[in-house]
Structure 1
Amino acid sequence: MAKRAVLLLAHGTPATVDEIPEYLRNVVSGRPMPQHVVEEIQHRYSLIGEPKGHSPLTELTMEQAELLRAELARAGVDVPVYLGMRNWRPYIADVVKQMRADGIEEAAVVCLAPQNSRTSVGLYRRAVLAEAGGMRFDFLEGWAGEPLLADAFAERLRVAVLRFSSETSEPVHVLFTAHSVPVRTVEAAAPGGDAEGKPIHWPTAKPGAEAVADPYSVEAKLTARLVAERVPEVAAWSFAFQSQGASGGPWIGPSVEETLDGLAAQGVKAVILQPIGFLCDHVEILYDIDIAFREHAAKLGMRLERPESLNGSPILAQVLAKLSLEGVARLASAQG
């Protein structure tokens, strides 16, 4: 029988401000990064974390891997769990090499980015395959529609909605978000439908040309809808893309800022923002949401709060175990 394992893949970030330049070179695959962009990101990192200037993403991701190991052990499954990061240590390439050295022949691969995009999952996959050698993989492309994922986010959201509703006399609007991606990632897409089944039109796709759709935008909105359906206390909700990049051309929207502007014009005074594209705290939550978006909302006369991030959510550990075991079972079946 083949020796199997589970491989988790994630974004990864450094722990300190001084490591930001090296990290950013990894993010942009070595392309030059304007110095003012580097300094701005260093500034944002300096304002977050405990102590200040510390991003908890890598530690939280490692904790999620440990929770998965415990969940698999409770299920009586003796499968090692590895964790590789694209942009920081432990790097995916180094982890896959270690797996080969450990004699691993097959692995179920789960990305800690539920919504599939060429800019995340696609790059993770490329990094795995570059070091695969003769290893075989069951690579989960995306799990945006997994019910347990929606349950995990809904559990956090319900607590926040009930608390916020009791503190304000205003109706609470929920704004779901996911990280934006460059327009070029999704613009050449085949006809399809959005999360509500409505047609998607991609104006830059040439008629009759063969194109491959990036499913990210559709999958992000699908996760948001599934979460909203599980929290009946949510009377109204909308969706926006956050944290658009500072370089590389246009990024998909609408942005959070313009969405908040529109909600304020409608008279909305209280907003809960839940980022359903992120599984743990990091700079795009601790700075972009907790500082920048909250300040933007305050200038509009709005109060903005967010639910606790999933981080060590037991339901998240359960869904990771479910996805991992399904991948291992597919590998066993293929061998069978």
Structure 2
Amino acid sequence: MGDRAAVLLLAHGTPDSLDEIPEYLSNVTGGRPMPESVIAEIRHRYSEIGRSPLTRLTLEQARLLEAELDVPVYVGMRNWRPYIKDAVQQMIADGITSAVVICLAPQNSRTSVGLYRSAVEAAAGDRLRIDFVEGWADDLLLAEAFAERLRPLWHSLSGEMGDPVPVVFTAHSVPQRTVEPGPDQPADPYAEQAKLTAENVADCVPGLRDWRFAFQSQGMSGGPWLGPTVEETLTELRKEGHKAVIIAPIGFLCDHVEILYDIDIAFREFGQNIGLQIERPRSLNSSVLLTAALRGIARNGLFRLSTAPATS
């Protein structure tokens, strides 16, 4: 039998109901207990948005990508169903022998992409040849996909305000300790890659010059997290005299709690309290350009697999 290739998309995962949140959070922390106050706060955030559509949207992104390729596309989640290990087991049961693995977090970090890779390799063992995409923060089609969502909103809001409005690009924060260089590891590339994506998106919006970058959704665990925070950045912009700001999350490829609650509810409320109108572009979700970006990345990986020397 010849090689049978596939694509595996990886995402964070999200609980399907409020009752599943404690188990989900235990997966996120690797079994470390969380204070009841934190669990209650996360439950509140999910209740405010009804439920996170992340799983449904990720499966749709996989379906759209599969329609563009001649290989099957699977989905594995690190912290909820369908779990990565289960997706890999299904691939093996289906006769797949090699896979391009793409993390739907384009910016590479040890706390995200590194953990996803470990989970895939542990599940696959020597039963699958893996081409793992380390990061695609610099992908120009990805930048254009975000810009396609941003441009019409920026033009309309700038016209409404009578002046170009600033844009705050955001990505999920991570604990500072996880990205600092150590004796046995270099500095984590995450922050620079996130800012590179932001810069590429800004370059795709003619006339956009006033833009900032901030990290959002800092966790509730102890110790410092990457900043500046969105709240700090919004406060600075208000002090500069701005009355409206666009928050454009470029670290997220579909709607979920970090967008539907953190931006649409919490940051909008924060902006309202300081006299700042907050808007955001539509999320990529089923974006044609996002599918095109994933198609190009997948095809490159499939080519590498097809030309790699066989291993015994």
Q: Structure 2 length normalisation: TM-score?
A: 0.96
Contact persistence 1:171–1:270 (CA under 8 A): no
Contact persistence 1:61–1:280 (CA under 8 A): yes
Structure 1 residue 157: deviation in Å? Answer: 0.5
Match of 1:253 among 222, 227, 245: 227
Distance 1:171 1:213 in 2: 36
Structure 2 residue aligned with 1:118: 110
Structure 1 residue 274: deviation in Å? Answer: 0.2
Contact persistence 1:310–1:316 (CA under 8 A): yes
Distance 2:83 2:9 in 1: 12
Distance 1:151 1:117 in 2: 22
- The one-character-per-residue Cα deviations of 1:157-182 (angstroms, maximum 9, x if unpaired) are 00111221232224300000000000
**SS of structure 2 residue aligned to 1:175:** strand
- The one-character-per-residue Cα deviations of 1:87-111 (angstroms, maximum 9, x if unpaired) are 1100001111111111211101111
C-alpha distance 131-211 of structure 1, shift in aligned 2 (>3 A): closer
Distance 1:171 1:4 in 2: 48
Contact persistence 1:152–1:310 (CA under 8 A): yes
**Residues 1:149 and 2:120 aligned together:** no
- The one-character-per-residue Cα deviations of 1:133-177 (angstroms, maximum 9, x if unpaired) are 321100000000000000100000001112212322243000000
Structure 2 residue aligned with 1:164: 157
Match of 2:270 among 296, 313, 323: 296
Structure 1 residue 210: deviation in Å? Answer: 4.9
Distance 1:17 1:308 in 2: 25
Contact persistence 2:105–2:252 (CA under 8 A): yes
Structure 2 residue aligned with 1:321: 295
Contact persistence 2:173–2:215 (CA under 8 A): yes
Structure 2 residue aligned with 1:226: 200
Alpha-carbon RMSD across the aligned residues, in angstroms, is 1.2
Contact persistence 1:118–1:185 (CA under 8 A): yes
Distance 1:210 1:84 in 2: 30
Moved beyond 6 Å, runs of 4+: none
Contact persistence 1:170–1:269 (CA under 8 A): no
Counterparts of 1:83-232 in structure 2 under 5 Å?
Answer: 83-134=75-126, 135-188=128-181, 209-232=183-206
Distance 1:314 1:84 in 2: 22
**SS of structure 1 residue aligned to 2:247:** strand
- The one-character-per-residue Cα deviations of 1:111-151 (angstroms, maximum 9, x if unpaired) are 10000001111111010011113211000000000000001
Structure 1 residue 275: deviation in Å? Answer: 0.4
Structure 1 residue 233: deviation in Å? Answer: 3.2
Distance 2:156 2:3 in 1: 50
**Residues 1:81 and 2:73 aligned together:** yes
C-alpha distance 301-170 of structure 1, shift in aligned 2 (>3 A): farther
Aligned residues: 308
Structure 1 residue aligned with 2:240: 266
Counterparts of 1:274-289 in structure 2 under 5 Å?
Answer: 274-289=248-263
**SS of structure 2 residue aligned to 1:40:** helix
Structure 1 residue 268: deviation in Å? Answer: 1.5
Contact persistence 1:46–1:54 (CA under 8 A): yes
Contact persistence 1:27–1:87 (CA under 8 A): yes
Structure 1 residue 335: deviation in Å? Answer: 3.5
Match of 1:309 among 255, 272, 283: 283
**Residues 1:236 and 2:176 aligned together:** no
Distance 1:12 1:262 in 2: 34
Distance 2:225 2:178 in 1: 9
Contact persistence 1:15–1:56 (CA under 8 A): no
Distance 1:211 1:83 in 2: 30
Distance 2:242 2:160 in 1: 15
Q: Is the deviation greater in 95-104 or in 308-317?
A: 95-104
Give the aligned residue type for 2:230: V
Contact persistence 1:170–1:270 (CA under 8 A): no
**SS of structure 1 residue aligned to 2:205:** coil
Match of 1:65 among 62, 67, 73: 62
Contact persistence 1:158–1:233 (CA under 8 A): no
Distance 2:103 2:300 in 1: 14
Give the aligned residue type for 1:6: V
Q: Structure 1 length normalisation: TM-score?
A: 0.89
Contact persistence 1:56–1:281 (CA under 8 A): yes
Q: Is the deviation greater in 128-137 or in 152-161?
A: 128-137
Give the aligned residue type for 1:5: A
Contact persistence 1:156–1:309 (CA under 8 A): yes
